[in-house]
Amino acid sequence: MPKSFKNQVVLYLKKYALRKRGVVIYNNSVFSNTTFQGTATVEPYCRISGDPVISIGSNFYMNAACHLLGEIYIGDNVLIGPKTVIWGRDHGISKAEIIKLQPHKKKPIYIGSDVWIAANVTILKGVSIGTGAIVGAGAVVTKDVPEYAIVVGNPAKVIKYRE
């Protein structure tokens, strides 16, 4: 959303209305095509862009400088650490056409309830993260994460399960 005065006013009014419902979105954070099902806190410098929609459950917390883009469904009681990227699309890679001109490849991302995603995590398109899972700092998630699994690394791998 460009930073015109009109757009700034519209964003302020949306944030004000959400705050009355228990959704706190701090300064320098923007969002579009996003629905909040309950209470939420979004720290500064975050960008949430639904393509076509991002649905966020209740009691959600997202730390500073995160970027969410694509079709993303997030359950209740989810914590997201700073500088996390959840990216539901990428470019085509056919050699018949330059990459910049290729259409985006999109797949939805599903994040269950009671999930903790630590700092500097990257979650790529088409991934599902099961209920109760923990994604360790710096992980790159390219495949589904089972319920209550703890995953770390690049690419993310299960190291154990929550008891």
- Residues 111, 104, 80: CA angle, nearest 5 degrees: 25
Catalytic entry in 8, 13, 16, 91: 91
What is the b/e burial string over 13-47, where b = at least 16 CB atoms within 10 angstroms of the residue's CB? ebbeebeeeebebeeebbbeebebbeebebbebbb
Give the three-state DSSP class for 6: helix
Q: Respond yes or no: is residue 104 known to be catalytic.
A: no
User: What residues are annotated to the active site?
Assistant: 91
